[in-house]
Structure 1
Amino acid sequence: MHRELKRETARPAAGTSKAQQRRFDAFRRRYNDERPHEGIGDCTPTSLWMSSTRPYPERIARPDYPSHMEVRRVSTAGTFRLHSQQPFLSQT
């Protein structure tokens, strides 16, 4: 899927972000609505999709941690503050 996405939308990249978004939108339509997928019996993903019956909560409650745990915020760079240092947490 990612190889197809790259080939159809990003090599070469469009001249503007608006034009690039049009390419992504067209790819998504073809991939989900038109192109049959062998792994799902040559159906399109859209033809098999069903919305969830579970309601989506209006607001997600803040997590409640036990009092013995220290809560830290992780930055977008993957670091957090601990005793005046900023260790790196993880990478994916």
Structure 2
Amino acid sequence: LYCASFRQVPKRIVLDIDDTFDAVHRGQQLRLFNAHHDEYGFQPIVVFDGDGRFVGAILRPAKRPSGAEIRPHLRRLVRTIRSNWPNIRILLRGDSHYCSPQVI
């Protein structure tokens, strides 16, 4: 859907990746206690492009994502985009924990 939203193929895209806390109420699966927020919740990984278009998200427990968890998400995302646009340049931006050896 993301690639189909463009009228013409861009030469380059910027993908911003981040995780965000989402408090839950009751006993949903995958919920974890997050001491920083002092609540139970999820911490999905979300990706938007540099123009603010939603690219994708993964619902996950409320803890900081590891490089081993981030890598397959990014690989799948980049492969999907490249299957539509094989020659596009992709710049990934994220916080420091998205720059772990497993991700790079």
TM-score scaled by length of structure 1: 0.28
Report which of the two has the higher share of helix: 1
Report which of the two has the higher share of strand: 2
